[in-house]
């Protein structure tokens, strides 16, 4: 069956096509060739994968950020008889997010680099499938304003937020109290170091941090899951998506990652969304909403899962969670500063420049260094991002000297 946009196939731009979310998105799209077609695919530098994806999906456009690799891709596609037009540079990301032939934009670039293209999709009134939580953490109110002002649709891909969205009643965007919602419960697996003795955290390696027990993901979000900064970013993301305050967003550890999150109502009811930990479920949900389509995910067998465990989060083990609540209380540019400092800290850890336990130290230092300003323009956000990167980088250099 063709989708509801007047019975025609839906055009999708996938930003960050070569990443974990991008690959899963193309897997779901390929299962429904009559309903969706790919308009544009983008990548930072993974030319091999983007080439293969262009061969399979025949997009009108492909964006390769690095210009040398873009010309190589152009030549290879031409030789293969593929007519995809290859663009390059960061502006091209915004261009393909706003094309008239694009109906839906999967925003799956990792980090702050995804902000401007996601905003371009909002300004062009697209359906945005938002995986790039950092965009919302950085620019919160500005982003939501653009969505509203331009009639865009914002559907969460983050499994927790997608679960919450599925459990929310109609009209939640007008305020949770009015629709009888008391609070949101975000579940968290606790990552690979939930049981590691605290004294050993100093010495864990990037490889150990990236070995998530339940999900296969890009390296940045894997480290964020290990520090639980991922959950911190998700608390901030939830406040914007569901128009609520931090005290209505609770976190519970649930190591099996089968309940993806819950909504607690004022009458005592709690609605949960369950499923196997596979991102194709939220991706298929957001692509088809309000319909349902198959995603390729195995049906959930609760007898095989057998038990579901829960416990309260530990702020001593996971100081990044505390930092997230602190920046929410501070408001303004604080969350953009936290996000930028975290990106620098995670990359430094992956590059073996700082210890795992140095990550929250870099963020806390950066937050202490910079004045928090009201967010009244995108320029303010981008300036805070840059200033935080510089401060965080300086701290990393000093940690390296003392290490």
400 C-beta neighbours (distance < 10 Å), count: 13
Do residues 143 and 136 make contact, with C-beta atoms less than 8 angstroms apart?
Answer: yes
State the binding partner of 17 from ligand NAD, Mg ion, none, CB within 5 to 8 A by kind: ligand NAD
CB 159 within 8 A of CB 277: yes
Considering only the stretches 148-156, 173-181, 217-225, 297-305, report the one whose residues sit in contact with ligand NAD under the rule CB under 6 A. 217-225
* Residue 131: contacted member of ligand NAD, Mg ion, none (CB under 5 to 8 Å, by partner type): ligand NAD
For the segment 140-199, give every residue that binds Mg ion (CB under 5 A).
158-160
Q: How many residues bind ligand NAD (CB under 6 A)?
A: 26
Q: Which is nearer to ligand NAD, 19 or 319 (CB)?
A: 19
Residue 118 binds which entry of Mg ion, ligand NAD, none, CB below 5-8 Å type-dependent: none
Report if residue 134 touches ligand NAD, rule: CB under 6 A: yes
Task: State yes or no: residue 224 binds Mg ion (CB under 5 A).
Answer: no
- Residue closer to ligand NAD, measured from CB, 217 or 288: 217
* 231, 158 Cβ separation under 8 angstroms: no
CB closer to ligand NAD out of 3 and 284: 284
Residues 139-158 that bind ligand NAD (CB under 6 A): 158
Handedness of CA 4, 10, 16, 17 (dihedral sign): positive
Is there binding between residue 109 and ligand NAD (CB under 6 A)?
A: yes
Question: Which candidate, 235, 236, 212, places its Cα nearest to that of 225?
Answer: 212
Cα-trace Rg, the chain? 21
User: Does 132 sit near ligand NAD (CB under 6 A)?
Assistant: yes
Question: What residue is closest to ligand NAD based on CB?
Answer: 19
Contact residue for ligand NAD among 3, 12, 13, 20 (CB under 6 A):
20
**Which sign, positive or negative, has the C-alpha torsion 352, 353, 359, 363?**
negative
Partner whose binding site includes residue 110, from ligand NAD, Mg ion, none (CB under 5 to 8 Å by kind): ligand NAD
Q: Closest approach of Cβ 97 to ligand NAD, in Å?
A: 12
Q: 89 — alpha (psi -120 to 50), left (phi > 0) or beta?
A: left
Residue environment code for 82-93, b if the CB has 16+ CB neighbours within 10 A, otherwise e: bebebbbeeebb
| Binding letters toward ligand NAD, positions 268-297, x by CB under 6 A | -----------x------------------
Which among Mg ion, ligand NAD, none contacts residue 188 (Cβ within 5 to 8 A by kind)? none
Nearer to ligand NAD, 277 or 332 (CB): 277
Output 215 or 289, the one with its CB closest to Mg ion: 215
For residues 156 and 313, which CB has a smaller minimum distance to ligand NAD in the complex?
156
Least distance CB 387 / Mg ion (angstroms): 28
> Cβ closer to ligand NAD: 132 or 342?
132
For residue 131, the minimal CB distance to ligand NAD (Å) is: 3
The contact mask relative to ligand NAD for 61-100 (x = CB under 6 A, - = no) is ----x-----------------------------------
Residue from the set 38, 86, 120, 131 that interacts with ligand NAD by CB under 6 A? 131
Among 44, 208, 256, 369, binds ligand NAD (CB under 6 A): 44
Using CB under 6 A, list all residues that contact ligand NAD. 16-22, 43-44, 46, 65, 108-110, 113, 131-134, 158, 215, 217-218, 220-221, 279
List interacting residues with Mg ion (CB under 5 A).
158-160
């Amino acid at each position: 069956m063709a989708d509801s946009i007047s019975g025609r196939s839906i055009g999708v731009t996938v930003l960050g096509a070569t990443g974990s979310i991008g690959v899963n998105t193309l897997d779901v799209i390929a299962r429904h060739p009559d309903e969706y077609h790919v308009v544009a695919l983008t990548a930072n530098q993974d030319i091999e994968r983007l080439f293969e994806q262009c061969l399979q999906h025949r997009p009108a456009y492909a964006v390769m950020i690095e210009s040398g690799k873009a010309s190589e891709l152009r030549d290879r596609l031409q030789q293969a008889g593929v007519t995809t037009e290859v663009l390059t540079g960061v502006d091209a990301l915004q261009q393909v997010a706003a094309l008239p032939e694009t109906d839906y934009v999967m925003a799956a670039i990792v980090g702050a680099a995804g902000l401007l293209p996601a905003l371009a999709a909002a300004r062009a009134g697209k359906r945005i499938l938002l995986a790039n939580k950092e965009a919302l953490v950085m620019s919160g109110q500005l982003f939501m304003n653009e969505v509203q002002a331009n009639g865009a649709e914002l559907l969460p891909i983050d499994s927790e937020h997608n679960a919450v969205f599925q459990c929310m009643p109609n009209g939640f965007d007008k305020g949770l109290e009015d629709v009888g919602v008391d609070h949101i419960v975000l579940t968290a697996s606790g990552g690979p170091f939930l049981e590691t003795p605290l004294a050993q955290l100093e010495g864990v390696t990037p490889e150990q941090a990236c070995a998530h027990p339940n999900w296969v993901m890009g390296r940045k979000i894997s480290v964020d899951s290990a520090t639980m900064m991922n959950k911190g970013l998700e608390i901030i993301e939830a406040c914007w998506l569901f128009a609520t305050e931090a005290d209505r967003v609770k976190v519970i550890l649930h190591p099996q990652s089968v309940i993806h999150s819950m909504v607690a109502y004022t009458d005592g009811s709690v609605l949960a969304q369950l499923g196997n930990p596979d991102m194709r479920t939220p991706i298929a949900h957001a692509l088809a909403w309000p319909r349902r389509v198959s995603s390729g995910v195995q049906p959930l067998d609760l007898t095989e899962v057998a038990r579901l465990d829960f416990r309260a989060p530990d702020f001593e083990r996971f100081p990044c969670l505390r930092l997230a609540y602190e920046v929410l209380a501070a408001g303004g540019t604080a969350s953009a500063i936290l996000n930028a400092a975290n990106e620098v800290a995670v990359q430094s850890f992956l590059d073996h420049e700082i210890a795992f336990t140095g990550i929250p130290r870099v963020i806390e230092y950066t937050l202490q260094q910079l004045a928090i300003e009201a967010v009244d323009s995108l320029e303010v956000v981008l300036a805070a991002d840059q200033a935080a990167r510089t401060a965080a980088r300086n701290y990393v250099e000093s940690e390296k000297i003392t290490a």
